[in-house]
Amino acid sequence: MSEPTKDQKIWQVVLAVPEGRVVSYGQVAEMAGLGRQARYIGRALGKLPAGHSVPWFRVIRSNGQIAFPEGSHAYETQVGRLKREGVEVTNGRVPMRRFQWQP
C-alpha cells in the first residue's frame, strides 16, 4: 500500500475533527506531520474532489477568525455550516477556548 500524499494526510486529519469543533490551519499541519506548513492547508482543502465528505469548514485561523472575505459565498457557507453544528460565530470569529478540538 502506498504512502498517503501530503493532501491526503491533511484530509484525514480534517475528517477526524468532530462535529461542533474547529481546528486551526496550524493545528492541522502539526497533526498531519507537516510542521509549520499552515499556509499549505488551505490549498490542500481547495483541491478536494467533488462529492467529498471532508468537513473543510471546521478549519479556521488560530485567532478564531474565518479566513474567507466577509460576505463572500465561501464565508457565508462556512459560517452557516458551523452554526448548524452549534459552533458560535460572532463577527466572523469563533471563540477558540470553547470550540477548539483538543484530541
pLDDT in tens, 30-83: 999 999 999 999 999 999 998 999 999 999 999 999 999 999 999 999 999 999
* 59 to 1, 2, 49: CA distances (angstroms): 29, 27, 17
Cα–Cα distance, 50 to 33 (Å, whole number): 25
Q: Report the candidate in 29, 50, 47 with the shortest Cα–Cα distance to residue 38.
A: 29
Residue 48 lies in a domain: yes
Confidence at residue 84, expressed as pLDDT on a 0 to 100 scale: 98
Judged against a pLDDT cut of 70, whether residue 1 lies above it is answered with: no
CATH number of the domain encompassing residue 61: 1.10.10.10
Residue 1 lies in a domain: no
The residue segments making up the domain with residue 86 are 6-99
Q: Does the residue 22 lie in any domain?
A: yes
Write the single-letter amino acid at 93.
R
Q: Answer whether residue 55 is part of any domain.
A: yes
Determine the Cα–Cα distance for residues 15 and 23; give it in Å rounded to an integer.
Answer: 11
Inside any domain, residue 19: yes
With a cut of 90, say whether residue 95 has pLDDT above it: yes
Q: How many domains does the chain have?
A: 1
Domain-located, residue 11:
yes
- Which pLDDT score, from 0 to 100, does residue 2 have? 78
